[in-house]
């Protein structure tokens, strides 16, 4: 992949329009997680240090092309100002006048892009209106890069464009993980359903050396091999698809790792009575809720010999103890190897970030993506419109 960064642009005296993701959770008018706002700071500061004027644009929620007061970015502007430590002016509709009046180190924040139906329609006219505000366009919202919207795709053709610091960091991490990785490469894919990750599994089988499948997804693969999984979450109708994936893996030399032992319970609740048995010994009236210690031991062995790890999804019902044990142990093993400089580890997806944080492992991973859908589509091998647009 080839894309320009801020270092390739002459920003002095330029109006720089930056697409960011500050779609943060709020309760009672207060931002409850500042992570996404914190992550835009480097881009803003570097543009200002180079003499550029920063104009931020973003979406919030799903207003579907209509003005919804509760989704106005005016509610987030104070949090952005607090984090950046500079004045943030809000422009609700008169963008051009607001840009003309910008002074000093002031940052301008435009109203929610999705209030305009032209945003999600990738409308050339709306993109042209946005482009008229700036000399240079910067995309720093990888999490929105899988959308072909006016602020991520169409506008990039209208002005000199580049990736912001966060976008460049994310793309660099992803390139290191699957683009041209150090081998052996291991992927962990977990979660409830195979059906939501068919494209992902199909792409990874041809790119990684070991594919660890966990969570409810693993039950479908076990059942496809003739194992009775009792009352476990399982997509029996995808048995043929699971067998095709297993066969493809065998042909290309990718080892698929399924649970070697399982933790089962009759009740889906915290601290439910449970036992560890072989997959073939799953009781008819029980559910598989986690992988067992023998599985974890083998995963740790595989990780010890690996150079690169890509992780998406938990290995069990990590939300409730003790069924978080396999996810916690594997995550901590990966974190320890990463911290020791022996492993490049990249993870992403909502449940994944939550699981790694719960295991106190996220801080030691090489890179944690908060991008969700974009991260998943990248792992699936799909071209992301927002990234492709930067490549000209």
Bond prior to 184 in cis (omega within 30° of 0): yes
For residues 192 and 315, the answer to whether their CB atoms sit within 8 Å is no
**Is residue 350 annotated as a catalytic residue, yes or no?**
yes
For residues 384 and 146, the answer to whether their CB atoms sit within 8 Å is yes
Catalytic residue among 4, 128, 129, 193: 193
Cα 152 to Cα 169: distance, rounded to the nearest angstrom: 17
The token duo for 32 is 């409850």
What pLDDT score does 280 carry?
97
**Is residue 36 annotated as a catalytic residue, yes or no?**
yes
Burial class (CB in 10 A: 0-12, 13-18, 19+), 390: buried
With a cut of 70, say whether residue 304 has pLDDT above it: yes
**Is residue 381 annotated as a catalytic residue, yes or no?**
no
Domain 6-166 class, CATH top level: alpha beta
Nearest to 73 by CA among 42, 103, 37, 112: 112
**Is residue 129 annotated as a catalytic residue, yes or no?**
no
Q: Mind listing the pLDDT tens digit for each residue in 162-211? A: 999 999 999 998 888 888 899 999 999 998 888 989 889 999 999 999 99
Q: Mind listing the pLDDT tens digit for each residue in 4-59? A: 999 999 999 999 999 999 999 999 889 998 989 999 999 999 999 999 999 999 99
Does this chain's domain 6-166 share its CATH topology with 181-379? yes
Q: What are phi and psi of 46, to 5 degrees?
A: -65, -35
Domain 181-379 class, CATH top level: alpha beta
Q: To the nearest 10°, report the CA torsion of 6, 10, 16, 22.
A: 10
Catalytic residue among 172, 230, 373, 381: 373
What pLDDT score does 392 carry?
59
Nearest to 107 by CA among 88, 93, 92: 88
Domain boundaries, the chain: 6-166, 181-379
Catalytic residue among 36, 114, 159, 197: 36
With a cut of 80, say whether residue 2 has pLDDT above it: no
For residues 345 and 366, the answer to whether their CB atoms sit within 8 Å is yes
Catalytic residue among 172, 230, 350, 381: 350
DSSP assignment of 308-363: EEEEES-SS-TTSTTTTHHHHHHHHHHHHHHHTTS-EEEEESHHHHHHHHHTT-GG
For residues 363 and 112, the answer to whether their CB atoms sit within 8 Å is no
Angle subtended by helix axes 198-205 and 239-252, to nearest 10: 20
Average pLDDT in the chain: 95
Q: Mind listing the pLDDT tens digit for each residue in 88-136? A: 999 997 788 999 999 989 999 999 999 999 999 999 999 999 999 999 9
């Amino acid at each position: 992949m080839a894309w320009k960064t801020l270092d390739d642009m002459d920003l002095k005296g330029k109006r720089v329009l930056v697409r960011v993701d500050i779609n943060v959770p709020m309760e009672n008018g207060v931002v409850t997680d500042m992570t996404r706002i914190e992550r835009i700071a480097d881009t803003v500061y570097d543009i200002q240090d180079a003499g550029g004027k920063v104009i931020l644009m973003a979406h919030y929620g799903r207003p579907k092309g209509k003005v919804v007061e509760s989704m106005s970015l005016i509610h987030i502007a104070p949090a952005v100002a607090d984090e950046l430590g500079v004045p943030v002016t809000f422009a609700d509709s008169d963008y051009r006048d607001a840009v003309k009046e910008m002074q000093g180190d002031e940052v301008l924040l435009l109203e929610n892009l999705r209030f305009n139906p032209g945003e999600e329609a990738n409308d050339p006219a709306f993109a042209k209106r946005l482009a008229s505000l700036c000399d240079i366009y910067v995309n720093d919202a990888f999490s929105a890069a899988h959308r072909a919207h006016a602020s991520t795709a169409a506008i990039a053709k209208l002005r000199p464009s580049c990736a912001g610091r966060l976008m460049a960091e994310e793309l660099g991490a992803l390139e290191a993980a699957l683009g041209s990785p150090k081998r052996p490469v291991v992927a962990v894919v977990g979660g409830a359903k195979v059906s939501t990750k068919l494209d992902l599994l199909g792409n990874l089988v041809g790119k990684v050396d070991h594919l660890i499948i966990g969570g409810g997804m693993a039950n479908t693969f076990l059942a496809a091999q003739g194992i009775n999984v009792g009352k476990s979450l399982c997509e029996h109708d995808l048995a043929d698809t699971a067998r095709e994936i297993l066969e493809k893996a065998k042909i290309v030399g990718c080892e698929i790792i399924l649970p070697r032992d399982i933790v089962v319970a009759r009740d889906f609740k915290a601290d439910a009575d449970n036992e560890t048995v072989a997959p073939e010994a799953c009781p008819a009236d029980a559910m598989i809720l986690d992988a067992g210690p023998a599985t974890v031991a083998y995963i740790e062995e595989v990780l010890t010999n690996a150079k690169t790890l890509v992780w998406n999804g938990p290995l069990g019902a990590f939300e409730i103890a003790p069924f978080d044990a396999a996810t916690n142990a594997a995550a901590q093993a990966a974190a320890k190897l990463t911290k020791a400089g022996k492993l490049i580890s990249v993870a992403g997806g909502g449940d994944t970030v939550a699981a790694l944080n719960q295991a106190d492992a996220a801080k030691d991973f090489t890179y944690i993506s908060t991008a969700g859908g974009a991260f998943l589509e990248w792992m699936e091998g799909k071209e992301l419109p927002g990234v492709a647009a930067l490549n000209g």
